[in-house]
Structure 1
């Protein structure tokens, strides 16, 4: 093996170890509700001087299937992504996307005063939160 391949492999393994450690840390320190639902959608949080922005990946989720709750510096998103009708009728050969109920609790970087805007577009839920 060449030196470059060995170094690349070492970096790859180191990154995998760091990712596992981060997942364990999140699992250990993240507060959980008593009845945590199904899957957890990935999310991004950004902060400006006046707002906190949250983007949650929810492809296939309809607006009526969402519930957003804001409490102090916590944001809870709950809902359901139903299995497509076509998948219920035929044989499933691969099912990698999560379906069913989901819940995501996100700690916000500051106390937020109110939910100022909410839109579901391009498979993502965009939340605009005014800072207090």
Structure 2
């Protein structure tokens, strides 16, 4: 019987690589997780009586690099975070930032007046105010109840 030397750090490294592979395959890129050179920004959607309010996290992006298109029932946002190359003579530079293009289409919970939409970009957060269409504001659905039939 041969003796085999146990190397726990090699096994831990192997287990970590396998766990990373599993998590990368389970989480889709559309949920704000990075995937290759593309990413999908995190979104927060809120609705009140007059408008649909949409916020997107877009830190480090120049507003000129964003393409925002609003239809009556969806918002499409595309953009690019451009790579900024930095070099350092002494030492090492490490970056975990993701660069590249993204596109996200967000369906809206109500029809909006896309021509009256307003966008504001401040501190890396894009705020969209999308006024609801008049027919959505006044839409009332009356539900009528019918008596249940008597059981025997």
Q: TM-score range by the shorter chain?
A: 0.5 to 0.7
Identify the residue that residue 65 of structure 1 maps to in structure 2: 65
List alignment gaps of at least 5 residues for structure 2: 1-26, 32-36, 134-152
The structure showing larger relative contact order (alpha-carbon pairs under 8 Å, at least 6 residues apart) is 1
**What TM-score comes out, normalization by structure 1 length?**
0.65
Following the alignment from structure 1 to structure 2, what is the Cα–Cα distance between the partners of residues 67 and 130?
20
Instruction: Report deviation, 1:102.
Output: 1.0
**What TM-score comes out, normalization by structure 2 length?**
0.57
Following the alignment from structure 2 to structure 1, what is the Cα–Cα distance between the partners of residues 42 and 111?
21
Give the strand-richer structure, 1 or 2.
1
Q: CA offsets per residue over residues 109-132 of structure 1, 9 Å max, x none? A: 111112421111011111110111
Q: What SS does the aligned partner of 2:49 have? A: coil
Q: CA offsets per residue over residues 82-103 of structure 1, 9 Å max, x none? A: 12342xx3554241x3211111
| Bigger-Rg structure (1/2) | 2
Identify the residue that residue 53 of structure 1 maps to in structure 2: 53
Aligned length: 99
List alignment gaps of at least 5 residues for structure 1: 1-22, 28-36
Map 1:65-104 onto structure 2 (within 5 A). 65-86=65-86, 89-90=87-88, 91-95=92-96, 97-104=97-104
Supply the RMSD in Å over aligned alpha carbons: 2.5
Following the alignment from structure 2 to structure 1, what is the Cα–Cα distance between the partners of residues 69 and 95?
33
Following the alignment from structure 1 to structure 2, what is the Cα–Cα distance between the partners of residues 123 and 57?
6
